[in-house]
């Protein structure tokens, strides 16, 4: 029994598709999320150690920076999608930690988990980009929480 494997061109196509969706329909937040994923993909191609069965420390650093960007983005915007992206990014970081703590985790399980979390982040960005015009119209129609210039005590 052989394992199912997606063609090599699938992930780059989805990453570029997320970037195009963000450019076409997204706003600043969606574009920043897509750019983060594009940059993470590019840097991952440079730091990935082929054939290594240990923790990929370079990718761990990339995923940690990506997670921090999505956490920051989730605090900056009123949209909910960055929370999901940050959650999937946290799962990436935790997967690296699990591989570090338990060397019995197979390389296949480790890499497959990382791929799944990455696809979920990308699908989140694509959904956010395609729904952005409608969602931003709803947000702009909401009353302001505090009047402009008000201070909190």
Number of domains in the chain: 1
Asked if the structure places residue 147 within a domain, the reply is no
| pLDDT at site 50 | 80
Whether residue 146 is contained in a domain is answered as: no
Question: What is the span of the domain harbouring residue 81?
Answer: 11-46+56-135
Give 103's pLDDT tier (boundaries 50, 70, 90): confident
Cα separation, 150 vs 92, in Å, equals: 39
Does some domain include residue 127?
A: yes
Any domain includes 64 = yes
* Element containing residue 62 per DSSP (H, E): helix 57-76
Residue 75, number of CB atoms within 10 A of its CB:
10
**Structural contact between residues 56 and 49, judged by C-beta atoms closer than 8 angstroms:** yes
What pLDDT score was predicted for residue 144?
62
Mean pLDDT of the region 2-13: 81
Say what the pTM is.
0.83
In a domain, 143, yes or no: no
**pLDDT tens digits, residue range 106-137?**
988 988 999 999 999 999 999 999 988 777 67
CA distances from 66 to 3, 11, 44, 51, 56 (A): 29, 17, 11, 24, 15
């Amino acid at each position: 029994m052989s394992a199912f494997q997606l063609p090599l061109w699938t992930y780059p196509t989805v990453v570029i598709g997320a970037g195009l969706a963000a450019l076409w329909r997204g706003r600043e937040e969606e574009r920043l999320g897509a750019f983060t994923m594009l940059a993470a993909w590019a840097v991952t191609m440079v730091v990935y150690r082929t054939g290594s069965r240990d923790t990929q420390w370079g990718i761990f650093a990339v995923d940690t920076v990506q997670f921090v960007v999505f956490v920051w983005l989730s605090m900056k915007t009123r949209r909910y999608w960055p929370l999901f992206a940050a959650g999937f990014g946290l799962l990436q970081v935790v997967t690296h930690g699990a591989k570090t703590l338990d060397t019995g985790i197979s390389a296949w399980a480790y890499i497959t988990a990382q791929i799944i979390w990455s696809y979920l982040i990308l699908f989140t960005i694509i959904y956010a980009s395609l729904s952005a015009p409608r969602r931003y119209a709803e947000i702009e129609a909401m009353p302001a929480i505090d009047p402009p210039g008000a201070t909190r005590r």
